[in-house]
Amino acid sequence: MKEIQKILSRVRLAVEKYGMIDEGDRIAVGISGGKDSLTLLLALAELKNFLPRHFDLCAIMVDMGFDKCQKYPAPKSDHAEIRRLCEKAGVPFIVKETELASVIFDVRQESNPCSLCSRMRRGILHDAATEAGCNKVALGHHFDDAAETFMLSLFFEGRIGSFSPVTMLSRKELVLIRPLIMTEEKLIKSFVKKADIPVEKSCCPEDKNTEREYMKQYLFEFDRRHRGLYRRIVGAMERAGIDGWHE
């Protein structure tokens, strides 16, 4: 399948360019159940076969616990299809059960829950990675995400910045890596569709109703009229050396 070969090419380029993987690494892949994290999992599992450095993988999913949420209840999932996908790829699958949905929507009744939810999920993921003996965590942010994050920072925070390709978490003794940063979202969508990857639909009521989604649609429409917008934004980040990006 040509899509996975293109993705692997971009992932390997990002890994080598930013020194994301070293000999002996044990990497936790953060799994949300969405297309990006599952594509990342499969790409890294395949990369093990030809990268001239040995590394191990495990997949970690933070279950939000919507089955325990009173305001937005949802049936409990056993994540069976993702578990089978991990087994087929030869990657251990860990699910961290939480009551985050209840804390955020029932107890705290957050009107803007995304920021708090993101911070709490990240903390749980990082702790789970440490418990699993991992020294790195791989996240599924892709090329389009980088441009959208840059514009979100500019529009809503009044600052020039984005996430970094590689981030050191000194307090956790972890390194965050983003191997999909050179992979376009359209390529991921095409791969997931053609390979029939079992994507899990989000139970969150805020899904597709966020500032990020609005920015995504804004940039998508602008890119339709001015092709290459995303590449120009990321190119500017690289030339300026913003947050660890470089040419």
Residue 1 has pLDDT above 70, yes or no: no
Q: In what order do the strands lie in the sheet with 25-31?
A: 93-97, 55-63, 25-31, 136-138, 174-177, 166-169
Measured distance between the N- and C-terminal CA atoms of the chain, rounded to whole angstroms = 29
Q: Which two tokens stand for residue 225?
A: 């009229």
Q: Which amino acid is at 75?
A: P
Q: What is the pTM of this model?
A: 0.96
Q: Which two tokens stand for residue 183?
A: 């992979």
Q: What percent of the chain shows pLDDT beyond 90?
A: 84
| Euclidean distance between CA atoms 82 and 2, whole angstroms | 23
SS percent in the chain: helix, strand, coil, step 5: 50, 15, 35
| Euclidean distance between CA atoms 159 and 137, whole angstroms | 26
Domain housing 65:
2-244
- Summarize pLDDT for 106-147 with one digit per residue, the tens: 998 877 888 889 999 999 999 999 999 999 999 999 999 999
Cβ 199 vs Cβ 189: under 8 Å: no
Residue 246 has pLDDT above 70, yes or no: yes
Cβ 98 vs Cβ 127: under 8 Å: no
* Bridge partners (DSSP) listed for residue 31: 61
- Summarize pLDDT for 140-196 with one digit per residue, the tens: 999 999 999 999 999 999 999 999 999 999 888 999 999 999 999 999 999 999 999
Q: Please count the structural domains in the chain.
A: 1
Exposed (0-12), middle (13-18) or buried (19+): which is 147, by Cβ within 10 Å? buried
Residue 42 has pLDDT above 90, yes or no: yes
- Summarize pLDDT for 60-91 with one digit per residue, the tens: 999 999 999 998 899 998 999 999 999 999 99
CATH number at residue 240: 3.40.50.620
